[in-house]
Amino acid sequence: MAEIPKRRPPEGEEIRTGSDPPEPARRGRGVSRRDCLKTLTVAGCAALAGGAGEALAYKKFPGWPDRFGMLTDLTECVGCRSCEAACNAANRLPAPEVPFDEKSVFEEKRRPDAKAYTVVNRYPNPDRPREPVYRKVQCNHCNEPGCASACPVRAYTKTPEGAVLYNKDVCFGCRYCMVACPFYVPGYDYGSATDPRIEKCTLCHERVRAGGIPACAQACPVEAIRFGKREDLIRLARQKIGKSPGRYVDHIYGEHEVGGTGWMYLSGVPFSALDFPTGLPDTPLVEQTKGFLSAVPMVLVLWPALLGMSYAATREKDKEKEEEK
């Protein structure tokens, strides 16, 4: 309840690509203590008065309002790898073994790892063999991330701005986040003995907070990667599909997958042909473990009672036997 977004999201059309000049962030008025108290009091009263109807409903977090997302239009992507280069520079990652203008990397499928937060893979186009499809892979910044629900030390945060961020200062390296991520995104720095960490896309969080846009979106020469409020992007994606239904598969990948992702995709060929995990549940992954975790307190409370009873029963029998003697 006490969580108050630090800044008011900018108003109006907010979808931006590299060709738009970056705007400075329009910061909302800081939240004063009085406002805060007022909000808390109102919220507290509301909670006490307790809309009886609401209390019956399932408590649900619909996600941070006005959070940002990305939309990759795979029909536009030309496979130039500018996004990879821009990402590498923006995140000060080590220089690649093969230069970014080298096309031979497409011979095999790559995945993001500790040295590259995003990679582009090439797939044959079943309809037009001469025009291959390129797929950019990076963290999808889920609305309710599996990595975050997996982390036993809460190293992951879904920020109000939309990025899923990782905090290396609490991580102890169990790598359960990597097991849980349905998109095979987090990369681990296996080569480090003293300072190993998870590496993954940050949705250029600092740039976004400073009013900029993610480096890959800025670098894309064909506007295949768009940055904006997630809701606006969904609207835009629908418009695109509506305008040219022949061009797109009628599906926005990421709108509902695992509860919705911040990064979404449009494609001209079926997503399954591009190695997108299909068949994922539409609910956040955390729902899969909720049932189990809610049974935990029951075991904690019921077992001692049942076992205690059983113990008492054995004692009772022993006593009877002794008395018989």
Binding site for other proteins (CB under 8 A): 109, 111, 113, 146, 148-155, 170-176, 178-180, 182, 184, 186-193, 196-197, 277, 279-281, 285-286, 288-289, 291-293, 296, 299-300, 303-304, 307-308, 310-311, 314, 317-318
Residue 18 or 146: the one with the smaller Cβ distance to other proteins is 146
Task: Give exposure, 188-214, as e/b (b: 16+ Cβ within 10 Å).
Answer: beeeeeeebbbbbbbbbbebbeeebbb
Pull the structure tokens for residue 324. Answer: 């018989």
Instruction: Work out how close the CB of 66 gets to other proteins at its nearest, in angstroms, rounded to a whole number.
Output: 24
CB of 110 to other proteins, least distance (A): 11
What's the rounded Cα separation, in Å, for the pair 155 and 166? 5
Nearer to other proteins, 221 or 281 (CB): 281
Compute the least distance from the CB of residue 270 to other proteins, in Å: 16
Cβ-Cβ contacts under 8 Å for 114 (sequence gap 6 or more): 187, 188, 189, 190, 191, 197, 199
CA distance 174 to 176: 6
* Nearest distance, CB of residue 316 and other proteins, angstroms: 10
Asked if 260 and 142 touch (Cβ cutoff 8 Å), the reply is yes
> Which of helix, strand or coil describes residue 143?
coil
In the block, tokens 């008395």 appear at 323
Kindly provide the b/e burial profile for residues 40-72, where b requires at least 16 CB atoms within 10 angstroms of the residue's own CB.
eeeeeeeeeeeeeeeeeeeeeeebbebbbbbbb
Residue (223 or 287) nearer to other proteins, CB: 287
Taking the complex as a whole, the smallest distance from the CB of residue 152 to other proteins amounts, in Å, to 4
| Of 182 and 268, CB closest to other proteins | 182
- Identity of the residue numbered 302: L
CB nearer to other proteins: pick between 26 and 184: 184
- Give the DSSP per-residue string, 160-182: TTS-EEE-TTT-----HHHHH-T
Q: How many CB atoms lie within 10 A of CB 121?
A: 19
CB of 171 to other proteins, least distance (A): 7
Least Cα distance to 215 among 91, 71, 80, 54 occurs for: 91
For the bound state, the minimum distance from the C-beta of residue 168 to other proteins, rounded and expressed in Å, comes to 9
Minimum gap (Å) between residue 140 Cβ and other proteins: 14
Reading the block at residue 142, the tokens are 């889920």
Task: Indicate the pairing of strand 68-73 with strand 263-266.
Answer: parallel
